[in-house]
Amino acid sequence: MAAPTKGNTSNANPTPGSNSHSITHNQNAGTNKLLVVFVTMSNASSRTYTGATYGGVAMTQLYQINRGGLSQRMVCYHLESPADGNNTLKITFNGNQWNPISIHARSFTESGGVGSSLRTGGQATPHSGSIIVEKDSLIMLTSCSVNQILTQQIPTGTNRTFTTHNTNRQVATGAISANAGHLAGGVSLRATSTFGNLTLDRTEIKGLSSSSASQGNFFTMFM
């Protein structure tokens, strides 16, 4: 039927100095609303994420993974039917975080929710992967590396715009498919850096063509 409608984004690269950090994010009005948030932080051996709220409503954690080789911890949260307009997005930790963090938030309308999610640890550039998606889905990519990240390709060969953050490592976040979405089936993806290893995390944002997407969102996670 249709790919999700992309909405507002918010990006931040702060050093919290406390056990939480808050930013303001503007959620688009509409139907079948979805908010997706990706966070990366350093000091992964001693700090974990304890939750996220938007407008005071608890978000659902899709995954949290410790990239030990990079000393980074990455997480994805999502929320169905978030409140419209400007609201506070708050990320909490299990203790004071004195190192930089990366936050990317993206709103959608006309979305069937979050679908498949795959995460691959550090591999030499170019780091190639794939994901199986439903018809009309979009795909979001996040990568982390010691070195500068050059491209996020969705599908392979098509460079997408992303935001660069420094968390004592290099983070590429917010890369997303073109508006048209994808056909059902496997989609090849790629990330590149100047040299060395980088991760490749990919998450499906479903459209409304899925039989499961008309009234409720169903979440599937693959480790």
**Cα–Cα distance, 139 to 118 (Å, whole number):** 11
CA gyration radius for the chain? 16
pLDDT of residue 44: 66
**Where in the chain are the domains?**
5-206
Per residue in 82-110, pLDDT tens? Answer: 999 999 999 999 999 999 999 999 999 99
Tokens 């608890």, residue located: 58
In three-state secondary structure terms, 144 is strand
Kindly report the backbone phi and psi dihedral angles of residue 68, in degrees, each rounded to the nearest multiple of 5, phi listed first. Answer: -60, -40
Global pTM?
0.92
The tokens of 82 are what? 């978030």
Rounded distance, CA 22 to CA 54, Å?
Answer: 10
Would you state the pLDDT for residue 221?
Answer: 37
Sequence-distant (6+) residues with CB within 8 A of 75 are 38, 39, 40, 49, 61, 63, 64, 65
Indicate the residue type of 87. N
User: Smallest Cα–Cα separation from 18: which of 41, 2, 36?
Assistant: 41
153 strand-pairing partners: 159, 190
- Confidence (pLDDT) at 209: 72
Instruction: Please name which of 208, 213, 205, 222 lies closest in space to residue 78, comparing C-alpha atoms.
Output: 205
**In which residue ranges of the chain is pLDDT below 70?**
1, 44, 210-223
Per the listing, tokens 């009309």 go with 136
Q: What is the DSSP string of 66-116?
A: EEGGGTEEEEEEEEESPPSEEEEEEEEEEEEE-S-EEEEEEEEES--EEEE
DSSP string, 161-192: --EEEESSSEEEEEEE--TT---SEEEEEEEE
123-151: pLDDT as tens digits: 999 999 999 999 999 999 999 999 999 99
**Strands 101-109 and 49-54, how do they pair?**
unpaired
- Cα dihedral sign for 153, 159, 164, 166? positive
Give the side-chain half-sphere CA count within 13 A for 196. 13
